């Protein structure tokens, strides 16, 4: 049986994508000097391969190249000078607003609101229960029992961090089960997404982390073996969005 480990004051559960270093960004010249102001927490989508720089200038160090079609999260309200502070796959930097547009859950490429709704509804079956130490088990049960998996596909079961790290490292598996990892802040997690918290993150288990499913469209609540508020002040988790199959 897959179980969770109970730590002092927290519950933790027992049981990446494209390499941007090889990408070439779009030409940033000539640049405009004004742009839209984006509020912190806003999700943006790139419209071309885009440099993530250490500061808002073409002379600043390039930290990564963000692939076309990727999503980034605005870290602090910014953008009026055509440079916006963003986070991409754990990297903080600045990006030129000319190649960014707002993204919503419904416009994130491939998002399936139908599958998301089924998964969220199944996850809510535990609403009202107290934490029992079985977040990985019940999250996996929700995925399987919701009926959203394609026929003949086996869901990977493990402890909480095992599931998150396995999905993060195996894009081909994610496609088979109908999920895609996205880079969003805790304020913008699409309904029906699997949320994986790292070891020790947000006070969860230093050994197993935590895993849960977002159950509303406001990125407020999530359920595993119990339902509770999504943590908002301790960094971004793994997020795997349900996609159209």
pLDDT tens readout for residues 132-186: 999 999 999 999 999 999 999 999 999 999 999 999 999 999 999 999 998 887 8
DSSP-derived pairing of the beta strands 83-88 and 91-96: antiparallel
Angle at the Cα of 18 from the Cα atoms of 14 and 19, rounded to 5 degrees = 105
Among the residue ranges 2-11, 70-79, 82-91, the one predicted with the least confidence is 2-11
Instruction: Decide: residue 203, CB within 10 A, 0-12 exposed, 13-18 middle, 19+ buried.
Output: middle
The answer to whether the beta carbons of residues 95 and 66 sit under 8 Å apart is: yes
Taken in order of first residue, the domains within the chain and their CATH numbers are 4-16+108-242 (3.90.1720.10), 31-102 (2.30.30.40)
- Check whether 11 has a pLDDT greater than 60: no
As a whole number of angstroms, the distance between CA 212 and CA 196 comes to 7
The 10 Å CB-count burial string (b at 16+, else e) for 51-67 is bbbeebeeeeeebbbbb
As a whole number of angstroms, the distance between CA 199 and CA 208 comes to 6
> What is the C-alpha R_g of the chain?
18
Who's near 154: CB < 8 A, 6+ residues apart?
none
> Residue 16: its pLDDT value, please?
30
> Residue 236: its pLDDT value, please?
85
Name the percent of the chain lying above pLDDT 90.
63
Return the half-sphere exposure (C-beta side, CA atoms, 13 A cut-off) of residue 239.
Answer: 29
DSSP track, 164-177: HHHHHH-HHHHHHH
As a whole number of angstroms, the distance between CA 201 and CA 110 comes to 29
Instruction: Please give the C-alpha separations between residue 28 and each of 7, 85, 104, in angstroms, as whole numbers.
Output: 49, 16, 25
Q: Residue 117: helix, strand or coil by DSSP?
A: helix
Q: How many residues appear in the chain?
A: 245
The segment with the largest mean pLDDT, out of 49-53, 102-106, 186-190, is: 49-53
Global pTM? 0.64
As a whole number of angstroms, the distance between CA 38 and CA 44 comes to 9
- Check whether 231 has a pLDDT greater than 90: yes
pLDDT digits (tens, 9 = 90+) for 17-68: 334 444 556 555 546 678 889 998 888 888 889 999 999 999 999 999 998 8
> Residue 51: its pLDDT value, please?
95
pLDDT class of 71 with cuts at 50, 70, 90: confident
């Amino acid at each position: 049986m897959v179980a969770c480990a109970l730590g002092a004051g927290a519950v933790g559960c027992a049981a990446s994508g494209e390499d941007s270093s090889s990408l070439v960004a779009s030409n940033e010249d000539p640049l405009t000097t004004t742009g839209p102001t984006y509020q912190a927490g806003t999700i943006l989508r790139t419209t071309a391969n885009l440099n993530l720089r250490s500061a808002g200038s073409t002379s600043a160090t390039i930290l990564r190249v963000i692939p076309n079609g990727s999503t980034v999260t605005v870290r602090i309200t910014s953008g009026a000078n055509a440079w916006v502070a963003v986070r991409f796959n754990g990297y903080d930097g600045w990006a030129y607003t000319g190649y960014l547009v707002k993204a919503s859950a419904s416009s994130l490429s491939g998002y399936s609101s139908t599958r998301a709704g089924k998964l969220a509804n199944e996850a809510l079956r535990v609403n009202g229960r107290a934490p029992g130490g079985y977040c990985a088990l019940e999250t996996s049960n929700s995925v399987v029992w919701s009926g959203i998996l394609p026929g003949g596909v086996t869901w990977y079961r493990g402890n909480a961090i095992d599931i998150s790290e396995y999905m993060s490292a195996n894009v081909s598996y994610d496609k088979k089960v109908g999920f895609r990892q996205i880079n969003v802040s805790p304020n913008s997690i699409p309904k029906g997404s699997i949320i994986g918290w790292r070891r020790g993150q947000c006070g969860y288990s230093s050994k197993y982390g935590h895993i849960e499913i977002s159950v509303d469209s406001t990125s407020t609540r999530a359920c595993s073996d119990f339902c509770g508020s999504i943590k908002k002040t301790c960094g971004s988790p793994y997020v795997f969005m349900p996609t159209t199959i």
